[in-house]
Amino acid sequence: MEAKRQHWLTYAQMTQYQGLLCENPQIRLEAERTPNPAIFLPIAEGTPEHDCLEALEENLDLVLFIDGSSFLDEGKRGARYAVVSDFEIIEAQALPEGWSAQRAELRPLARALNLTKDKCANIYTDSRYAFATLHIHGAIYKERGLLTARGKAIKNQNEILKLLEAVWEPKEVAVIHCRGHQKGKDPVSEGSRRADTAARLAAKERVTPSWVMLAPELPEPPKYTPQEEWAQREGVWVKDWKKEPCKPTRKGPYPVILTTPSALKVAGLNTWIRPSR
């Protein structure tokens, strides 16, 4: 009777409607005596069939810790990632320059899933982006055709597709988010620190892009006349226009560099020489 619901009724209007309900002879107000079915539910809860934390540790073949990040070094954007276990570094590599931090976080999760093919594994990551992409956003992006809600292409398409394909390789897998850069001595904190350290060491090994040098197409060798071949082999003598007594009238021999039907280019002279000379 006194519940106002929305705020579009004034107090005067509420009083008027309450009077109509209370003074109407066709309306009878009384308390409900039907029992609530909820009171028949058992109060004491039974023992759970399993403990979620214990279930994660049962029948495990492998426990992996991953880390991927991006950094700036002398103005250049670099990236690295690592996949480690409790005892060893399984994979740690530097990524090509220009990789963003989010793209570098997706790569180690996909690689960890590849490495646990046909196994039961727990994978710990400190990346909320990679964790949410695998559990929530990745499937939504795939249903939308790798487009955002506004119809634009999503970032890191190739890495997301690789991640969604790799998640089917393990027999059983649990991807667990953990806090990064913790100083605790528990197994998860220590494993996360090992992955971070391995990734930092891998970053020192820069990845240089491989360039393929294509040899230029060489033209076909020119065809010379017998006279031109002789001129290139023996050289040519050029007429000297300075007429001095008791001196030769030609200079040479000059090796031929280029030939045309009407002139020759010889080494040592700036001008072209006509055959008449």
- What local confidence, expressed as pLDDT, does residue 45 receive? 64
Q: Would you kindly state where each structural domain of the chain is located, as residue ranges? A: 56-203, 226-266
Give how far the C-alpha of residue 245 lies from the chain's centroid of Cα atoms, to the nearest Å: 84
- Match domain 56-203 to its CATH number in 1.10.1200.30, 3.30.420.10, 3.30.2350.10, 3.30.300.30: 3.30.420.10
Give how far the C-alpha of residue 212 lies from the chain's centroid of Cα atoms, to the nearest Å: 23
pLDDT single digits (tens) 181-234: 888 888 889 999 999 888 888 877 655 455 556 666 767 776 767 766 666 666
pLDDT single digits (tens) 126-176: 999 999 999 888 888 888 888 877 778 888 888 999 999 999 999 999 999
Q: Which of 66-75, 214-223, 266-275 comes out lowest in average pLDDT? A: 214-223
What is the band of 47 on the pLDDT scale with cuts at 50, 70, 90? Answer: low
**pTM over 0.75, yes/no:** no
